[in-house]
Amino acid sequence: MAELTLTAKVAIAVLLVAAGGAKLADLEGFAGTVRLFWSASFAVGARAIAAMIACTEIAVGTASLSSPLAGWVNYAVLGLCCAFVVVSAVGYFGYPGRACRCFGALTGRSFDGASVARAGLLAIAAAAAALLPVSPSLLRLGTLGRLGLVAGAALIAWCAFTAAAAIGAGRDARSMPAAPRGWTQ
């Protein structure tokens, strides 16, 4: 069971780092999604909030990947995943069919029932990782091992950033009222 927990932790950590990197490349597009959830008077800071969300995902994912025994990180990941469920549900009921930009320009998915289900599965996996801690005997990371994982996380974020930029970062999310099915546009 500990191996499954560790697998869930690593998968979610990599997903967070990749999603954050892709959002940074498509900051304007993701800011369009952020604007959906705040009033027009607050939309001026949507780009800053979008950057903060992306950087938080990268930071929490990197911390989870490089410090798998730090219990507080599990709860930070769980909090993010629960926020994803809330955003997916609100987006589904308030803005069905609108592009979610959860992976920046890398995804063409929209707010729909499947996005709520995916977010729910992530939250369940994060809860399992928080409640079923990994045994220290499975993980013996020294300083160089942790630095290697941080470097790996940076590489993942950079690859996601580069891929999102190549696919078409900067497209205006409002010009895409309904996202087509599929991984890319």
Question: What is the pLDDT at residue 184?
Answer: 41
Instruction: Summarize pLDDT for 45-103 with one digit per residue, the tens.
Output: 888 899 999 999 999 999 998 888 888 999 999 999 999 999 999 999 999 988 888 88
Question: What is the pLDDT at residue 174?
Answer: 43
pLDDT at 114 over 80: yes
Instruction: Summarize pLDDT for 130-173 with one digit per residue, the tens.
Output: 998 777 777 777 888 888 888 888 898 989 888 888 887 445 44
Question: What is the pLDDT at residue 118?
Answer: 93
Question: What is the pLDDT at residue 170?
Answer: 46
Q: Using an 8 Å Cβ cutoff, are 166 and 104 in contact? A: no
Burial of 50 (0-12, 13-18, 19+ CB in 10 A): buried
Alpha carbon separation from 139 to 3, 78, 101, 133, 145 (Å, rounded): 11, 21, 34, 11, 10
pLDDT at 182 over 60: no
**Closest listed residue to residue 152, CA positions, set 141, 137, 168:** 141
Instruction: Summarize pLDDT for 7-60 with one digit per residue, the tens.
Output: 888 999 999 999 999 999 988 888 888 888 876 556 568 888 999 999 999 999
Question: What is the pLDDT at residue 84?
Answer: 94
